[in-house]
Amino acid sequence: MAIQFNFVSSMLILVLLSISSVEGQGGGGGGGVIDVVAKFGAKADEKTDLSKPLLDAWKEACASTSPSKIVIPKGIYFLSTTTLDGPCKAPIELQVQGTVKAPADPGAFKEPKWIAFNRIENFKLSGGGIFDGQGTTAYKKEGCKGHDYCGSLPINLRFDFLTNAMIQDITTKDSKQFQANVLGCKNITFEHFTVSAPDESPNTDGIHIGRSDGVNVLNSEIKTGDDCVSIGDGSKNLVINGVTCGPGHGISIGSLGLFKNEEPVDGVTVKNCTMTNTSMVLESKLGQVLNLALVRTFTLRILS
């Protein structure tokens, strides 16, 4: 019952976000379409940092009392790193039409993140664009198997403490670590989300979910060197439906049981998924302590 309610509520969120999206119409207190090239001088030359124009556009949209859409037009952009913070006063859509590239050198990052979305409500990321982490150099470094090096590498997309969010028609590729990380979110949906990384890429989970309630991964394609979807402690009411996974390790619950005070995983449904060239269909990573009590409700229906 909890899973069913979660799915219905997420669809209602999608409808509300669609209604509130802005197609070039302004409103009181700001809002409307904000083009980072036309208004803030962003350049699609693969060398001029997109960080300041994007932050300036975000600041304007976040302060608006009516819905806003930020547009990154077609082209190839360089972005050093950025964190887009809320809370904001009205819904925001970030429409990425082009390709955004990260620094290739892992040493350019002081923190294990490239692009982060933090404490935002009613947010949509869309547009058919690509986030390219340029991680192929990092894959060749020593130490990844022990996670002492890979754990400090940047994650392509971090979604931290978002409420009512839609990630739709977006590609993330060649992240140096996880492709997308979901932490502390409530009602967030990934639909037509594409992950692309070579099968030898280490620690590059497609979507890692932790301590979140109401996460849907729908009709998506995930190709990576690690878990297609990995589920950490405190995750509940998750639906993974219509996902094509492979190469990769499959869909993983865990690791669990390694640390004190871990929260249970409750209400996970996996259905209508296709696994190709994966190490396994479902992987249970329960750590050194076999703590099955942490996994309360799980439903599996794989169609391969």
Instruction: Determine the pLDDT at residue 98.
Output: 98
Distance of CA 181 to the CA centre of its chain: 5
Parse the chain into domains and list their residue ranges.
32-101, 109-138+154-303
Instruction: Determine the pLDDT at residue 25.
Output: 42
Give catalytic status of residue 192 as yes or no: no
CATH 2.160.20.10 is held by the domain 109-138+154-303: yes
Contact 88, 120 (CB under 8 A): yes
Write out residues in the chain with pLDDT < 70, as ranges.
Answer: 1-30, 141-149, 281-304
Instruction: Determine the pLDDT at residue 282.
Output: 64
Instruction: Determine the pLDDT at residue 35.
Output: 98
Instruction: Determine the pLDDT at residue 14.
Output: 46
Q: Which residue, among 83, 67, 52, has the nearest Cα to 121 in the 3D structure?
A: 67
Predicted structure pTM score: 0.85
Instruction: Determine the pLDDT at residue 138.
Output: 85
Instruction: Determine the pLDDT at residue 28.
Output: 42
Instruction: Determine the pLDDT at residue 259.
Output: 76
